[in-house]
């Protein structure tokens, strides 16, 4: 998979493999960086394609930065590639992007997705509609972005996101028998009383992120109630209680989005979706 050479070369070489899926071989492929668009761990670029039939199109590639591979391996993040290669993704329809190519290795933590470019349809990330409070929006002309996309309020955007969430989460509501074949999903082993070590590792990660976040953002005035709730919640996390309350209890289980925040949603105003 990913070598030590300039990363765009690797991404382009993978992209050149998918011409048959696009309906025509790829004649040329160039990449332009999308700095800052990949979240905390990923890198992204836009791929500009010229096909042999003379048509053009753009796609988006997303892969992990080298210094995040250890965490990716420990957390099993390449399962994202398994997801998009699985019938689940197509069953969910427009709730998820179309992915043309996905490769990943659970052994190394590497992963690569080449997906549709929603910006070509005028899509913007939904986080822009929630004001300047989030670091994702720092330095953005939010007023212009919101005005250009229908002036949708945060309340209305929340309604739209909630509707998408309901469709996603209701699709496999309490269908625990699916875990027998979908055992690669995050948490599948935990619900079957297995892999306590990885569960505890995930809780430690949350604890460390919360601790480091407070230390690094000393200029922020934290709401005392928020701090108290977070400290209490993290302190109470233990495997025995998790098994008792969430596995052996009566709480329904379902397939969920693992990182459900506004910046991970795309909004297309002209299609109202």
Q: Tell me whether strands 42-51 and 26-33 are parallel, antiparallel or unpaired.
A: antiparallel
Cα pseudo-dihedral 73, 62, 205, 226, rounded to 10: -170
Q: Which of 112, 117, 105 is nearest to 62 (CA)?
A: 112
Please state, in angstroms and as integers, the Cα–Cα distance from residue 185 to each residue in 81, 89, 98, following that order. 11, 13, 20
Report the sign of the C-alpha dihedral through residues 24, 26, 27, 33, in that order: positive
- Tokens describing residue 87: 């019938």
What's the pLDDT at 5?
42
H or E segment to which residue 29 belongs: strand 26-33
Q: Which of 249, 237, 166 is nearest to 208 (CA)?
A: 237
* Tally of CB atoms within 10 A around 225: 8
Tracing tokens 């005005």 back to the chain, one arrives at 147
What's the pLDDT at 180?
78
Q: Give the chain's count of helices (H) and strands (E).
A: 11, 7
Mean pLDDT by 10 residues, the chain (273 residues): 62 91 93 76 90 95 87 85 87 85 90 92 91 85 94 93 86 84 86 90 89 78 90 94 84 83 87 79
Biggest alpha carbon–alpha carbon distance for the chain: 61
What's the pLDDT at 4?
38
């Amino acid at each position: 998979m990913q070598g030590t050479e300039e990363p765009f070369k690797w991404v382009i070489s993978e992209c050149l493999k998918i011409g048959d899926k696009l309906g025509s071989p790829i004649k040329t492929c160039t990449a332009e960086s999308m700095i800052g668009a990949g979240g905390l761990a990923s890198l992204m670029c836009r791929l500009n394609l010229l096909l042999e039939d003379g048509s053009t199109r753009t796609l988006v590639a997303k892969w992990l930065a080298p210094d995040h591979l250890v965490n990716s391996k420990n957390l099993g993040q390449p399962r994202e590639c398994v997801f998009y290669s699985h019938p689940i993704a197509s069953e969910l329809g427009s709730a998820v992007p179309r992915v043309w190519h996905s490769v990943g290795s659970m052994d190394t933590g590497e992963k690569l997705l080449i997906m549709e470019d929603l910006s070509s349809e005028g899509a913007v990330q939904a986080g822009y509609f929630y004001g300047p409070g989030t670091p994702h929006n720092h330095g953005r002309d939010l007023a212009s972005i919101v005005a250009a996309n229908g002036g949708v309020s945060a309340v209305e955007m929340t309604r739209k996101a909630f509707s998408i969430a309901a469709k996603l989460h209701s699709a496999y509501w309490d269908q625990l028998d699916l875990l027998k074949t979908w055992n690669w999903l995050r948490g599948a082993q935990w619900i079957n009383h297995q892999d306590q070590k990885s569960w505890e590792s995930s809780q430690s990660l949350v604890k460390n992120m919360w601790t480091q976040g407070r230390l690094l953002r000393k200029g922020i005035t934290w709401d005392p109630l928020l701090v108290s709730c977070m400290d209490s919640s993290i302190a109470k996390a233990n495997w025995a209680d998790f098994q008792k309350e969430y596995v052996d209890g009566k709480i329904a289980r379902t397939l969920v989005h693992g990182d459900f925040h506004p910046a991970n949603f795309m909004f297309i105003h002209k299609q109202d979706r």
